[in-house]
Amino acid sequence: MTDQWLTSLITETPQDGFALAVTLSRRGVKTTQPDVDVLKKLRPVYAEDADSLTAASQVIAINFQTVAAANNYWR
C-alpha cells in the first residue's frame, strides 16, 4: 500500500465529502481483503442482500461523520 490515496480530509462540498466517506469505507474492506478478484466475486451476492446494503450504508455514515467534522460541516 505505497500508493497515496488519502492526502486530506478536506473537500470542497458536502457531496465530495460523502464520496470520500465511500472511499474510506471501501479502503477498510480492501485493507482486510486486498485480492480484487475475491472482492469482485463477493459483490453480486452482497449487493442483492438488503441487510448487507444497510451495513455498508452504516460504515459510510460513520466515515461521513469524520469527514463532515473535518470540514467543520461545510458551514
Binding residues for a second copy, rule: CB under 8 A, are 1, 4-10, 13-15, 18-19, 22, 24-29, 31-33, 38, 42-43, 45-66, 68-70, 73-75
Show the cell assigned to 58: 452504516
The residue whose grid cell reads 453480486 is 44
Residue 27 CB, nearest distance to a second copy (Å)?
Answer: 7
CB of 40 to a second copy, least distance (A): 11
User: How far is the C-alpha of 56 from the C-alpha of 1, rounded, in Å?
Assistant: 23
**Tally of residues, the chain:** 75
| Closest separation in Å from C-beta 15 to a second copy | 4
